[in-house]
Amino acid sequence: MNAKGAFWFATYKGALTAELFIELLKKMMKGRNRPVHLIVDGLPAHKKANVREYIESTKGKLTMHVLPGYAPDLNPDEFVWSHLKRTGVARNPLRAGEKLEIRVEQHLHEVKKNRRLVRSFFDAPSVAYISDC
């Protein structure tokens, strides 16, 4: 997501591996003309050598910045998950036979359509370091 209200997401089953992360990065970079500055948390998959090699292969089109240790207040993604937890299944429990992954995808699509909501995740003083100048 960015501070202007754009929102992209991908879901997957299981743990995020470096290989899966690289595939997600390749999809994200497809068709991009401007450089992308990606801010990630300290998940080990984000820091693997093959991830660094892929990023280097983009010749400056993609740069990755790793947040310090456990710092959820610095990560706007955490505000998305907090919103989903408060307004999603916690407010409206799953019905018999309903799948959690489908409900999460639906909520993420709703977030994507609401640019004002996405911009609001950048209102916290702790994420003021992010700007889309």
Residue 28: which residues within 8 A CB-CB, separation 6 or more? 8, 36, 38
CA 30/CA 25 separation, integer angstroms = 9
Residue 12 lies in a domain: no
CA 122/CA 44 separation, integer angstroms = 25
Q: Which of 87, 91, 133 is nearest to 110 (CA)?
A: 87
User: Could you give the residue ranges of the DSSP H alpha helices within 1-133?
Assistant: 18-29, 49-57, 76-87, 100-113, 115-120
Instruction: Categorize the per-residue pLDDT at 132 as very low, low, confident or very high, splitting at 50, 70 and 90.
Output: low
CA 122/CA 32 separation, integer angstroms = 23
Residue 46 lies in a domain: yes
Residue 6 lies in a domain: no
Residue 71 lies in a domain: yes
Residue 13 lies in a domain: no
Q: Give the tens place of pLDDT for each residue, 8-60.
A: 999 888 999 999 999 999 999 999 999 999 989 889 999 999 999 999 999 99
**Residue ranges making up the domain that contains 56:** 18-127
Q: Mean pLDDT across the chain, nearest whole number?
A: 90
Instruction: Categorize the per-residue pLDDT at 89 as very low, low, confident or very high, splitting at 50, 70 and 90.
Output: confident
Q: What's the domain count of the chain?
A: 1
CA 47/CA 41 separation, integer angstroms = 10
Residue written as tokens 């300290």? 42
